[in-house]
Copies of this chain bind each other. A is one copy, B any other.
């Protein structure tokens, strides 16, 4: 087994290092932590990190790529369920992302804070992958525009940005304790974010009058 080191029964050191990196990056931030912090957290010698990863950045690369692909796959799968309305599909997407944060807050914090929201320095390299998510969401919106359930004067790309931006802002607010985060808050947010973006903030009476 490739995972078995010389000692323990198959502890995959690469995985151990990745998991430690998630904690350290989330706690101290990618730039303000040292590689030795990751090694210490993993209970591993400094040099071993470079046995498994060619650079500090490659650790972050690996974390992001792994998790982001999972999300892309999930969106594709959700979009393929033809019996769902666009609103329901967007609800599923929002639910997936919110659950991701709920279950792995550290990892999601790292991905959002260090990659997605850092497209300037580091994340620039990942823009294409990030854009794929935008495009998938835009695809869902586009179909709804075609069949008339969504307004046609708001382009799908534009709508996708608003939707994704709202969700990412929610996660960011949770990350930095700007919004409350009980289990109930997470569940409620799933419905509300879709209600806010698809249904709008205005009460139905006003919306109908427009």
A109-137 with Cβ < 8 A to chain B: 109, 113-114, 117-121, 124, 127, 131, 134
Quick one: copies of this chain in the complex? 2
- Residue tally, chain A, CB below 8 Å to B: 62
A147-165 with Cβ < 8 A to chain B: 148-154, 157-159, 161-165
Main SS at interface, chain A: helix
Query: Residue A2 at the B interface, CB < 8 A?
Result: no
Query: Residue A139 at the B interface, CB < 8 A?
Result: no
A134-182 with Cβ < 8 A to chain B: 134, 141, 144, 148-154, 157-159, 161-170, 172-173, 175-176, 178-179
User: What 0/1 readout, one digit per residue, does chain A (176-202) give for beta carbons within 8 Å of chain B?
Assistant: 101100000000010011011111111
Instruction: Report B-chain residues with C-beta under 8 Å of the C-beta of A117.
Output: 117-118
